[in-house]
Amino acid sequence: MNTQDVKELYKNYVLGNYAPENMCIVKGKGSRVWDIEGNEYLDFFPGWAVCGLGHCHPAVVSALRYQAGRLIHLPNNYHNLTQAMLAKEISENSFPAKVFFCNSGAEAIEAAIKFARRYGSEKKKFEIITTMNSFHGRTLAAATATGQPKYQKGFEPLPAGFKYAKFNDLDSLKALISDQTIAILFEPVQGEGGINIASKEYMQKVRKLCDEKGLLLILDEVQTGMGRTGKMFAYQHYGIEPDLMTLAKSLGGGVPIGALVVNNKIENVLVPGTHASTFGGNPLVTRAALSVFKTIKKQKLLKHVEEMSAYIAEKLKGLKEQYAVIKEIRICGLMVGIELTCEGRPYVERCIAKRLLINCTQGSVLRIIPAMVVTKKEIDKAFAILSEVFKELS
Ligand SMILES: Cc1ncc(COP(=O)(O)O)c(C=O)c1O
């Protein structure tokens, strides 16, 4: 089989809701992947931010091998050892909390929305204010929470009760609060929205506002969680705690898992019968997630993320000085956005041709989200390729 054969299978059998690149990746290790023809690529967007520990981290592989031979699935009508251990691990690394497990980011958001709705139901409060340029997933409710009309077009009628404030703008948020508002939901760093970082002042004022008005503060840490920003969870940069937090992406080291983390300060409204997931929190994925926490600590990855972030920031400074096409650099830990004054897609294509995988979002923002295990040598190599590409295209 080669890429062409796989493309043929896609044409005949895979629903066309994606536009995959002209390659078929069959193997990965750390920050490197190989295509079916054996070509090696440097992956600076591993797994769309899922592979925080890089591809096939040995600790995750070993946890999966162990658990696969023991118990893969267990429905939630039995006590599950690894689910309980993971909930404790999440709580001990964030705030005193209880956790609901599901299988993806959108499902975690869906659970947060259902939690908020039920929390407010007696007082007839149901409105959730999110932010423009946010991204919360593709289920109908998550796509409606997402403050970008392009993800909603053609799927109307959308669920009621969502309003969109300008990101990082307290006045815009305040203006939308009504007697029916129950929650405020946003990402500490908008990922798909172009690496837009919430300011400390904004975050703290929103927390205060939520306390004053009795609103739930829901932080979507699907992309920012699990060490990505240099803290285990991004909210820890801000000196506040959310009421609810959603996780997914790199939580499972590559396997599908999502979580809704509910602060113990908030009364639990998801009692038996109100919400569930068949696969949620199964032994295989929760064992993998436990190995992710263990590895982040054992390899001191939070410190490493800070160091690599500073190293990348220095390199980006050099690139920006050289190329006027770079409008702005935004970086938080290992979430990097390079905003261009032009379309970013040609840059992505040239990088891929030179065997570097990166992403472009919002049309003009090059997005780089390398694995947390990335090395200086790999960063040097990636920037050598980026420099060549900027030289060729600018
Ligand atoms: C911040 C954020 N929330 C939610 C989601 C949705 O996650 P999933 O694709 O796992 O449903 C994403 C996915 O990119 C995300 O970045």
Q: Which residues have CB under 6 Å of ligand 1?
A: 104-106, 109, 135-137, 187, 191-192, 220, 222-223, 248
Intervals of CATH 3.40.640.10 along the chain = 59-298
Give residue 394's pLDDT.
86
Q: What is the secondary structure of 291-348 as a DSSP string? A: HHHHHHHHTTHHHHHHHHHHHHHHHHHHHHHH-TTEEEEEEETTEEEEEESS-SHHHH
- CATH no. for 3-56+300-393: 3.90.1150.10
Check whether the bond before 157 is cis (ω within 30° of 0). Answer: yes
The yes or no reply on domain 59-298 and CATH 3.40.640.10 is: yes
Alpha carbon nearest to ligand 1 atom 3, residue: 136
DSSP element (H, E) containing 262: strand 258-263
pLDDT in tens, 11-20: 999 999 999 9
* Nearest ligand 1 atom, CA 220: 1
Give residue 250's pLDDT.
98
pTM tops 0.95, yes or no: yes
Report d(CA 355, CA 349) in Å as an integer: 10
To test the pocket of ligand 1, the residue of 101, 133, 222 to mutate (highest count of ligand atoms within 8 Å of its CB) is: 222
Whole-number Å distance, alpha carbon 74 to ligand 1 midpoint, is 25
Whole-number Å distance, alpha carbon 275 to ligand 1 midpoint, is 20
Whole-number Å distance, alpha carbon 223 to ligand 1 midpoint, is 7
Residues 6+ apart with CB under 8 A from 376: 308, 311
Give residue 135's pLDDT.
98
Whole-number Å distance, alpha carbon 222 to ligand 1 midpoint, is 6
Intervals of CATH 3.90.1150.10 along the chain = 3-56+300-393
Task: Please list the ranges in the chain whose pLDDT falls under 70.
Answer: none
Give residue 5's pLDDT.
98
